[in-house]
Structure 1
């Protein structure tokens, strides 16, 4: 097993590089049209973990999430079209609300259906799962600590969150390749979404320039300095409740500063490919996320894995229902669903896979979910506690 962080990083970087090179081969174009390179970038590390080649937990994964995520976000957010993105607000919020409601109702439905096979503390576990799939890992810990969830069951929920949640992320990535067909069937109004992408593409076509050393060093310097500064400032701020921790503060501050910088001449770094460099970092992060999913753990707790599957199904149905009623593009389904289930470490990735200019939408929805996740998890637990007696 590859445990050394340096060799593990080399393996993941090699997978990402090889996948994108193979995807360019004309003979395999049909395969990669059906299963895009990003799907392979995600699932090959997951299969490697399941085969015992690499670990599902490593200091490298935590380091990438803490340092590479914010640095990549800086480079992506520099090209943000804020005015156009603001027009998506109502639709994004309604679909996100449907996704959150779907998780809550899914936990209740799964509890009722599987109650004979669940332990007595399952209502607490359901609340913790609702917390993490509306918010994030911090919400899971906050709900679990508040309810007095046993370490054993908390570990089980982490397995469900990892295996089922990461598998769902892979499905969302796969669906991105079918969004045009879905949007035609749904009669979706893509004008706002396409407008953002068109403006970004037009800006690249008219103003793109070769990457110079001066541009590259400014990009790297800006990303690293802003990441370090925001992590430092976030570390000085007090936690708010049990959810808004120091890293959450850092991400919020970094997002705000990077969005403001997109209104300055620094946004012209996009002409030299700032977002391309940001995406490269995101793809490496995506590989590390996939590596944390170990399919071997499914067999250990089948009833809770089934519990998670039921929650995802209900969540998906309600979120898709909102997209259908609003005649919204499939992009909103992918962004809102991953904002719920994945949180801010992966929601911008999925949003950007659907629409390259839309990473900020996924990030902002995930921050919203992080704020309400603990409250939602506690409400679900309270509702189910009556059924458990």
Structure 2
């Protein structure tokens, strides 16, 4: 472990949770417009990167880290270690427990039947968009592979997980692929920068509603019926009780334990017969897929009605992303940033083309298509904002589509990673 300024497990956890809490407090207390364009997630990831890469930053600034210490002369050598370490048992604990628990808690709110009933063909457009992300990532990898490191396919897999689902899927897919902090950093960078470009496009698309309706041959009666169904289905969410929090924690810990037991049993079975995991399918991959599938299955139980599950899950998402930032290699990420962004741009453009194709084939209006795309690329918050701009009655539908994306994101991200690995 690095000889960092803060190296104890409790100290590291305090720093990571403090970073998460600080930037959300800062967003709420100051209401800076900066946070409308650069969400707290970016700072939550980057701050641990800087704290754990102090030595790299010092080297970039031209400070001689190899100079001998001379307290008498007032000169003290800079160490390559940072404020927090790049490896710690605390990070291992977060990956082992916080990540699978987060997945279970996030997936409990998914209501597939309600989403299909209320949004109808909008689900189809979202599925087209998801396929566009997968295909686009493979095309982007082909285009820029000569400038990327051999494991950059993991970053594209994590990015696809985010662009089909959300930040939680980015975290889950990166863990399933054993992606390094550097590779996750590239995914976070592309996710953030290209979202800033994509959201204005989704908002501005409202202005072409009439010509788009002619292009897509929209059935206005169907749109009116969908709006009426959404308004009739609106419901007020009750507050969660401490008993319900205990139910959630039990479910999350139980699924984590079951998934670990099954994957360990499979590993022991393979080892006893001198087999190994397939190239594209590791023990981590198996564990994440198990947690995802069990979490979706639990969404059909009464646990889905506990609204606090998503909030608790999101808290764990941000903690995981802070941990990932602390393990990143800043120098390597800087070298690959430009070509990786080029490939990601191809990916998001392909996603847009597939959304247009889906809207045309399914005869969906621009409002629903924009929300479906926003649910893919941005998640719940972005989809809600786009819905509020286009048509406020679609906000519940936007949330449902984004939750459906969470259910699909891990599968899509792993599929994308396999394709991108073949394209490298």
TM (norm. structure 2) is 0.64
Preserved contact between residue 181 and residue 324 of structure 2 (Cα < 8 Å): no
CA contact (8 A) 2:157 2:413 kept: yes
Q: Which of residues 367, 374, 380 in structure 1 aligns to 2:418?
A: 374
SS of the equivalent of 2:84 reads coil
- The 1:292–1:312 alpha-carbon spacing in structure 2 relative to 1, beyond 3 Å, is farther
Shift of 1:362: 3.6
What stretches of structure 2 of length at least 5 have no aligned partner?
55-81, 159-172, 214-222, 268-275, 360-365, 384-398
SS at match of 1:329: helix
CA contact (8 A) 2:137 2:344 kept: yes
| Alignment partners' CA distance in 2, 1:335 and 1:3 | 38
Q: Which residue of 1 aligns with 2:379?
A: 351
Does residue 87 of structure 2 align to residue 64 of structure 1? Answer: no
- 1:10: Cα distance to partner? 0.7
Tell me whether 1:332 sits opposite 2:354 in the alignment: no
Offset of residue 284 of structure 1: 1.4
Which residue number in structure 2 is paired with residue 345 of structure 1? none
**Which residue pairs with 1:259 in the alignment?**
296
Partner of 1:151: none
Could you tell me how far apart the structure 2 residues matched to 1:170 and 1:333 are? 13
Give 2:50's match in structure 1, choosing from 44, 47, 60.
Answer: 47
Question: Secondary structure at 1:216's aligned position in 2?
Answer: helix
For the structure 1 residues 184 and 59, does the alpha-carbon distance in structure 2 shift closer, same or farther, using more than 3 Å as the test?
Answer: farther
Correspondence for 1:232: 261
Q: Secondary structure at the match of 2:280?
A: coil
Which residue of structure 2 lines up, in the alignment, with residue 16 of structure 1? 20
Are 1:308 and 2:352 counterparts? no
The counterpart of 1:166, out of the listed 169, 179, 188, is 188
1:44 positional shift: 2.7
Note the C-alpha offset of 1:82.
Answer: 1.3
Cα gap change, 1:72/1:104 in structure 2, threshold over 3 Å: closer, same or farther? closer
Q: Conserved in 2, the CA contact under 8 Å of 1:139 and 1:242?
A: no
Residues 39 and 173 in structure 1, CA contact (< 8 A), matched pair in contact too: no
Residues 95-145 of structure 1: CA deviation (Å, up to 9, x unaligned): 233223333333333357x6xxxxxxx8xx56x53465247668978xxxx
Distance 1:259 1:9 in 2: 29
* C-alpha distance in 2 between matches for 1:180 and 1:247: 36
Q: Distance in 1 between matches of 2:176 and 2:252?
A: 28
Q: Which residue of 2 aligns with 1:322?
A: 354
User: 2:301 matched to 1:268?
Assistant: no
* Structure-2 separation of matches of 1:178 and 1:367: 28
Q: Does the CA contact (< 8 Å) of 1:162 and 1:292 recur in 2?
A: no
Deviation at 1:233, TM superposition (A): 1.7
Of 241, 253, 264 in structure 2, the residue corresponding to residue 212 of structure 1 is 241
- Structure 1 window deviating more from structure 2 (157-166 vs 361-370): it is 157-166
Tell me which residue corresponds to 1:30. 33
Instruction: Give the number of equivalent residue pairs.
Output: 328
Cα distance 1:213–1:97, how it changes in 2: closer, same or farther (>3 A)? closer
Q: Retained in 1: the 8 A contact 2:131–2:354? A: no
Could you tell me how far 1:363 is from its partner in structure 2? Answer: 4.6
C-alpha offsets along residues 147-191 of structure 1, whole Å, 9 cap, x if unaligned? xxxxxxxxxx968634432311333565687586255357599x8
- Which one has a bigger Cα radius of gyration? 2
| C-alpha separation in 2, matches of 1:317 and 1:162 | 21
Structure 1: segments with no counterpart, 5+ residues:
115-121, 142-156, 337-349, 382-389
> Which whole-Å CA distance do the structure 1 matches of 2:345 and 2:380 have between them?
23
Matches within 5 A, 1:133-148: 133-134=156-157
- Over aligned residues, Cα RMSD in angstroms? 3.9
The whole-number CA distance in structure 1 between the counterparts of 2:201 and 2:92 is 32
Rounded Cα–Cα distance in structure 1 between residues aligned with 2:198 and 2:41: 10
In the alignment, the residues of structure 1 paired with residue 23 and residue 49 of structure 2 have an alpha-carbon distance, to the nearest angstrom, of 14
